[in-house]
Amino acid sequence: MAIIYIEGFDHYDGTADAGGQMLMKGWSIEDTFYIAASGEVVGDSSVLARRIGTKFAVVHTSIVPSATSRNLTASGPTIIMGYAYRSNVLGANGQLVTLYDGDGDIAVRLNYLSGGSIRLRGGAVDETSAANVIKANTWQHIEFKVLLHESAGTYEVRVNQVNVLSDSGVDTQSGLATIGKLELSGALYSGYMCYDDMFILDGSGGKNDDFRRDCRVDTLLSNGAGTYTDFAPSAGANWENVDDPDGLGGIGGGDIDSDTTHNESKTVGHKDTYNLDNIVALGTTIYGVAANSCVRKTDAGIKYFKQLTKAGATEDLSAEIAATDNFQIYQKPMDVNPDDSAAWEEADVNALESGVELTT
């Protein structure tokens, strides 16, 4: 494993239901949370999205500290995280991000201070960067890498690819040498914090185990039937029931409409896969792909499924997942193309199919 989680926020609705959809994907929301499109008023000013034609997440905290969080697949002792960030104000001790260990104790916390400096805490480390490395009312890319260890720990924080805080041979480990939870916001003041193009990696597997620099996360929706159409559609074609039509500002994605449109099967071994939109031509490295599936069971008893991706002639399955009574969004990260175990290329992504297989 190297990719733990990828989030671009483009496939969520832009209405009040965005929070409910985030809950489907395992987020716990204590703040006011919503998805915004470019040009939308956030707080008291209009905010342009980081990239044309995309959405971003907005977390609005009150004076009372609160947080938006998500459990992660346990990993460590190395953790790498990158994301685009924008805040309307820089408070005295605003939280950028906190990572918790497998026991729920704070492992790494990044804060920004009113002078624009970044403070990192973890283990015996409590260090602050120079001033003015982060600014209000502008998008900037924040990335950090931490090795959790009681004596040989390392850390480095970068803002827009510039190293602003680092050290080695230090105690960075407070509790367990694992990461199990991500927390956003938690500011000690009222503010609007925007997030986009987020990735979390660990140090294993020989892929995506170091800084990835400023990246973008593209969302590709279904646009046609794949190899398998075993599930019964509620209406129309299978792929049309999972194509998540526009939910905000003319930007595709977001309308996860519960049971209104869906595909269903009770037959073990049934598969449903879908072709996807082509990726926007990049001409650059594709570091990974993550398939997302929204699934629930409709009857009592245990039902298991696997996320299925078809790359070339190879059908790649996730571990078995127990479906719940409520829709949940599951993510299957892939660092390399499972068809040849090589780095992803644009043609690989454009030919990819995504779906599920019912296993029990």
At the topology level, CATH places domain 3-202 in Jelly Rolls (2.60.120)
The model's pLDDT over 155-203, given as tens digits with 9 standing for 90+, comes to 999 999 999 999 999 999 999 999 999 988 655 556 788 899 999 999 8
Over range 212-231, report the average pLDDT.
Answer: 93
The model's pLDDT over 76-132, given as tens digits with 9 standing for 90+, comes to 899 999 999 988 877 667 788 999 998 889 999 998 888 899 999 999 999 999 999
Predicted confidence at residue 193, as pLDDT, reads 83
Q: Is 138 exposed, middle or buried (0-12, 13-18, 19+ CB in 10 A)?
A: exposed
- Whether the pTM exceeds 0.85: the reply is yes
> What tokens were used for 121?
């805490």
What distance separates the 2 farthest-apart alpha carbons in the chain?
Answer: 61
**Which range has highest mean pLDDT (23-37, 40-54, 343-357)?**
343-357
Over range 252-256, report the average pLDDT.
Answer: 57
Residue 224 is which amino acid?
A: G
Predicted confidence at residue 251, as pLDDT, reads 47
Which of 14-18, 83-87, 267-271 has the lowest average pLDDT?
14-18
Instruction: Write down the mean pLDDT value for the chain.
Output: 86
Q: Are the C-beta atoms of residues 177 and 151 closer than 8 Å to each other?
A: no
Q: Which of 59, 73, 67, 58 is nearest to 28 (CA)?
A: 67
Q: What band does 320 get if pLDDT is binned at 50, 70 and 90? A: very high
Cross-strand pairs, 29:
68
The model's pLDDT over 201-215, given as tens digits with 9 standing for 90+, comes to 998 878 898 999 999
Cα 292 to Cα 301: distance, rounded to the nearest angstrom: 24
Cα 177 to Cα 6: distance, rounded to the nearest angstrom: 22
pLDDT above 80 for 14: no
**Residue ranges in 77-199 assigned as alpha helix (H):** none
% of residues, the chain, pLDDT over 70: 86
Cα 108 to Cα 123: distance, rounded to the nearest angstrom: 8
Residue 260 is which amino acid?
A: T
pLDDT above 90 for 56: no
% of residues, the chain, pLDDT over 90: 57
Domain boundaries, the chain: 3-202, 222-358
Cα 95 to Cα 60: distance, rounded to the nearest angstrom: 12
Helix (H) or strand (E) segment spanning residue 167:
strand 162-170
